[in-house]
Structure 1
Amino acid sequence: MDITHRKNTEQRIFEQHCFQWPVKDGIYFIAREDDYKNAAASCRYQLGSIASYELLYNAFQPSLENCKEGWLISGEIAFTELKDACILKPPEQRSNVFPCQSYQSGVYCHKEYNTSADILDYLPKTQRIIRLTNSNSKMLNAEDAKICCSTKFNGQLATPLNVYNNSLSLGVNLCGNGWLSGMLEGNPCEGHTPPDFWLYPAGNFIRFKPLTGDSQAFCLVPLANQSYIDPFPSHRVMSGQGQGRHTLNYYDADALCKSRGGRIASKIEVEYAQQSGYDVCEFGWVKNGEIVYPVVQPRSGCANIPTVVNVGFKDKTTFTAMAYCYM
């Protein structure tokens, strides 16, 4: 068998085993389980380049039946939206996941080879928050999330308000638990309706959690004119928990607050936070050794009126609760 015939045979076998559906507007899918580097090589083997989201969207919107996850030139995995994964949202509203480590997937290719593909910015232009994960089967701890965001994407973890505003005003589905700026963790979309983000019920869903826990992460990749925004509410009080709810004695609570760059809050500071609209229906330590929790929205199991519920002084060594930190 001569070299040309062998290459043609290899090409036909490759296409039979790897192409999932016919080319449309120059876009096609190769069904392999590759990391990004090998996915790019698969497209080059076909004398093409990895497709951008915009090319995929223009070819197949509004949706693609039997959609398959696949690499795109931006480094994201197509069709990994949190909801309605096979719907192709407008480019500025997409929220596909970006892997930080090894991720095995197919790839979407474009028949035309783009020599400048690797030097262009293929992220959304008006909203710059991307969802990060570690690999196909594992999410990220807090430190890995921070490192990946800063080193791989030259970004910083997004504030809860960043994520909330993107979801509310731009229609980007970022509504899930994830690591946020300030080593906070939670779902910024959960139950919010008021214009002020930190009013009830934000405090019940955004807090300090163990840094070793696995979660996705929200990474803000800023444009040149964007600067760092403080992630904490104006009253500066945040709640925190240990490996589970109500697992911290006083000294654990104090250590948690210090480890996040703050200190344990005073009762007066929690009272001011409650007057500012902060609501957390969870027992928590304050500086003088009392257990309190702020309630703005009266409800069963919390309080019948807006107040800071005072449970009283407890044994600092044996009693366990959450922590109220002042940042």
Structure 2
Amino acid sequence: MDILLIFRFLILGISCATVTSTTVVSGVFQVTDVNVSYANAQETCGCYNATLATEDQLETALAKKFQTCKWGWIQEKQLVMVRAVDDAACAQNSTGIVKKHIEAERVFCYKHNAVKGIFQVTIAEKYSLMLEDGDKVCEGLNSTFATEAQLTNAFNAGYETCRTGWVKEGKNLLPRYTSDPKCGNRNIGILSVKALDGFSDVFCFRNELMNTNIYTAFPAFNTKINHTEATELCSSFRDVLANKEQIQAANISAIVPKGVTTIWYQNGIAVVVNQTLHLQPHLNDTNITAAVYCYDPLAQDYIPYIKEKTVWRKIIMGCILAGIFVILLCAALCMKGNQFKCCHDKKHSTCNEVVESNQSYVPPIPTWNTTGSYHPVKEVIDAKYQNPHQISIHNHQPAIRPEMLKYKSHFYDNLSYIKTEDE
């Protein structure tokens, strides 16, 4: 550890522990051994001769399957988590560069007692605004000096006050929708009242408040602001940050400026995606500590194996199919014909098996099947025909067995042939 690292460790209180077994892709890696605030994030990367990574550098690493499961600081002053594969335990199954915002571009402010865009501006309990102050006061609240017609429109919608106020036409008016002895001497309507010493309140008009009491405010120079600055911005307009319930009860999609992606509200930051609000919980930006994403262009890539859920599915399916195959194989080996071997009688030994076991074995003489209509008989010849050379057997009746004459069909023996009487 050199003198610079010792200085950082002792003076700045920054840990410079050695980074081991971490993923490095395209020079990007995450330091997870320490949790630091954004103010110390750059110094932490300096411990490893690296700089605080930018979102573009993370995008390059993500394209090569770089991912982590821990929130970390990047140069854009955002907490992000890089996910190449979805995982419920990491950013709730989100993939890509998942952001956890701590700053926003706009603010949702809530204005009390605004009806149809009309609201009253009171500087002090005692009337203290003159007619000439109307334009300047309303302009400072991102609104315009209200006209009598605009005030009348709000009055018809139920708007009333118990204090008078200037309108652009130079009239000091008091809108009373209900009768009250303390307000306008029980009179009802838009009452014209003489201003005491020329002082009164001012009525302003803001078009965003025509249908809701919530409007968007933006900081000077369109810079991003934290939660504390957002609260102060609404207070400068004599309003408060809108809360979650007020936002959900109002249809405010129409008042979201185009191109705006993050807006503060009392409970956190509303992220705008396709004109749809996604409310994220509030982060106390002054006390946030997290890991750090660093970038070193000279660092060698190291990509560990990414275990995907599909691998486990393939393994399980493979085991199931292998089990089925083993069961079918065992069943085939145990089968004989259409029955299991256990259902057959004991198998007799074949001749080959006997010969192999006993070389002195002599096979039996086969017995022929004598079933049929042909039966060989012993030759019987009369004595007078003993000399076939002297007596021709063609001049005599053949000698046949008498039992053969009982059938009406042709019969044969080994001596002669005879036909039936019918032929």
TM-score (norm 2): 0.28
* Largest Rg, 1 or 2: 2
TM-score (norm 1): 0.34
Taking CA–CA contacts closer than 8 Å with sequence separation of 6 or more, which of the two structures ends up with the larger relative contact order? Answer: 2
